[in-house]
Chains A and B, each alone.
Chain A
Amino acid sequence: MRRLNRDRLTAIALISPSAILIAIFVYGFIGFNGYASFTRWDGLLPDFTWVGLRNYEKLFASQRFQIDIANIFTFTVLFIPACLILGLLWAVLIDQRVKGESFFRSIFLFPMAVSAVVVGVVWRWLLAPGTAATGSYGLNLLLEQIGLGILKNGWYTDPQIGIKAVVIAATWQMSGYTMAMYLAGLRGISEELREAARIDGASELQIYQYVVLPLLQPITLSATIILGQIAINVFALVVSMTGPGPGFSTDVPSLFMFDTTFRGSNFSQGAAIATIMLLFISGLVIPYLIHTSHNEVQA
């Protein structure tokens, strides 16, 4: 009994420093930000005159913001599954005792090591369509040369495609990390579990379906949250790759926030955008987390 109490205290003591830091540097600042969003602070000198919901009204009425929300939604919905699927695929393939495993792993991971600004520029070039007068550039040129010219399109210069082109660059950059997470998970599944299933007559595919994938669920959860965070806050990549795009077709809330805060000196509007994004995320993440912790408790 005493051991239990002492351990409980140790547990709390271990968590406390982090909890305090989070309380100040996350929630304290969120609070500050939230308060600022209800003011009319629009110069360097803080002006905390209360204006109620005015900033929010203006934001939701703003065409740019409406487009941004649609864009970030599209981006997230495409980016997360793409990274999960590709990451899992590469991890499973590499896990098959391939020679040169270290080589393949490094190739897929390397994109993450390159700075976001440079990733943006390279993909800007790769997906630059070219014109009839100048000829095709980048990927379009390659497609032409290997006979797949029919797949050519305007990529991010086409407002219909817009942010979807950015998903390609982002997936290139992040799928390697998802692969690393899945690889660590795969390596953690003991061979005995798989052997047991094999002895019971399961095929390799069935082993993956019924033994391996379920055991990888916690990783899928972590990966989804991490990828979700990247998606919501994607900034440097968009700035250097496409900018806001024709008619804001590649604009995202973080870009709008940076623009309005530091170019427009409109701090209160920037704070309002940040607050909306946070509410948006909590609306998704919190129910998901509660749902999964309930599942774990039951299991």
Chain B
Amino acid sequence: MNIFRFRFYRLFIYTILSLATLLYLLPVYVLLVTGFKSFQEVNLATMWQLPTQIGIESFVRAWNGNESQGFTGLAGNFLNSVYLTVPATLISAMLGSMNGYVFAKWKFRGSEILFPAFLFGMFIPYQSILIPLVSVLQKMQLYGSIPGLIFVHVVYGIPITTLIFRNYYAAVPTELIEAAKIDGASLLGIYRWILFPISIPGFVVVLIWQFTAIWNDFLFGVIVTSRPAVQPISVALNNLAGSYVVEWNVQMAGALIAALPTLLVYIFLGRYFVRGLLAGSLKG
């Protein structure tokens, strides 16, 4: 490939990516601009216009709430979300990884049926199981607490985490496992020494999904933890809106604040999309 073609090729790529970036950022622009406006200024007709005055008042109100006006902000529930999301994400990722490993590399009688049975769990509409769920959680003494919410997210995260890891491990050559077996390694040993180290991209994909899903989940957050004091931030965010009149500037400012931790997680985990991770381990 000559230099000219190469340069053109690179330019082409950057142009497309930049155009796509602009398009993807349009809604974010609206979010930001509205967050900086005052409620008086918020108007569908003027959504593109920059605020006349950049005010961070909406952000402050979204975070602190306003006692006299009777709404609580996001601050109180932020820690709840952290205590919920971090353990739930890690536990469900580990669980998915082990399940995926078994389904991919240790097929036993009935695993061909068990795997789709697991997957099917992804499709239940959560709204239809709220009442029996609360009932069972109460019997398990898990209703109304963060550990209960962690439990719920771990359970309903099983199908998707198992799916992602199972397909990820299916791509790992069986020779690797066979070689280890000949060397005398057990199921757990193979996992610990061979598969786990090369699972990083799989974990990244799962962690991104679970963190986002659990951090942003509203339905379980509002049903399983019904007391405001233990609810996650997603519920507080929803409550920034009045039921009659919605102050969109506060709502969008709040949404941006609530989205920050997730964005940080993406940036942090993104470092692990490193090329050649699998290749490197295969060589050794």
Please give the residue numbers on chain A whose beta carbons come within 8 Å of chain B beta carbons, in ascending order. 3, 6-8, 10-12, 14-15, 17-19, 21-22, 24-30, 32-33, 90, 93-94, 96, 98, 102, 104-119, 121-123, 125-126, 128, 130, 134-135, 137-138, 141-142, 172, 177, 180-181, 183-185, 187-192, 215, 218-219, 221-222, 225-226, 229, 232-233, 235-236, 254, 257-258, 261-262, 267, 270-271, 273-274, 277-278, 281-282, 285-286, 289-290, 293, 296
Q: Is B146 an interface residue (CB 8 A)?
A: no
A90 touches B20 (CB 8 A): yes
CA distance A290 to B120 in the complex (A): 13
Contact of A236 with B45 in the complex, beta carbons under 8 Å: no
Chain A residues near B258 (CB-CB < 8 A): 115
What is the minimal beta-carbon distance from B190 to any residue of chain A, in angstroms? 9
Tell me if B44 counts as interface (CB < 8 A to partner A).
yes
Contact of B24 among A117, A123, A172, A257 (CB under 8 A): A172
Contacts of B267 in A (CB 8 A): 102, 106
CA distance A191 to B274 in the complex (A): 13
**Stretch of B26-34, B50-58, B63-71, B82-90 lying at the A interface:** B26-34
Among all A-B residue pairs, the 10 with the closest Cβ atoms: A113-B262, A274-B128, A190-B279, A118-B255, A184-B201, A26-B121, A218-B167, A29-B129, A7-B187, A11-B106
Chain B residues engaging chain A, CB cutoff 8 angstroms: 10, 13-14, 16-17, 20-21, 24-28, 30-31, 44-45, 47-48, 95, 98-99, 102-103, 106, 108, 111-112, 114-129, 131-133, 136, 155-156, 158-160, 162-164, 167-168, 170-171, 181, 184, 186-188, 201-202, 204-205, 208-209, 212, 216, 218, 234, 237-238, 248, 251-252, 255-256, 258-259, 262-263, 266-267, 270-271, 273-279, 282
Q: Are B202 and A289 in contact (CB under 8 A)?
A: no
**Chain B residue with the shortest CB-CB distance to A119:** B27
State A94–B259 Cα separation when bound (angstroms): 23
Which of A122, A137, A261 contacts B31 (CB under 8 A)? A122
Cβ–Cβ contact A187 & B44, under 8 A: no
Of listed B102, B156, B277, residue having the most chain A CB within 10 A: B102
Q: Smallest CB-CB separation from A117: which chain B residue?
A: B238
Complex Cα gap A21–B121 (Å): 11
Residues of B within 8 A of A123 (CB): 27
With A113-B262, A187-B277: A24-B136 Cβ-Cβ less than 8 Å:
yes
In whole angstroms, how far apart are the Cα atoms of A261 and B124 in the complex?
A: 16
How many Å from the CB of A226 to the closest CB on chain B? 6
Per the bound structure, the CA–CA distance linking A270 and B168 in Å amounts to 36
15 A-B residue pairings within 8 Å (CB atoms)? A6-B186, A10-B186, A12-B108, A18-B118, A22-B158, A116-B218, A117-B218, A128-B44, A137-B47, A184-B273, A190-B276, A191-B279, A218-B167, A218-B168, A225-B119
Contact A18 B158 (CB under 8 A): yes
Contact indicator A29/B133 (Cβ below 8 Å): yes
Which of chain A's residues has its CB closest to B201's CB? A184
Contact indicator A192/B279 (Cβ below 8 Å): yes
| Docked CA distance A22–B274 (Å) | 34
Contact B127 A254 (CB under 8 A): yes
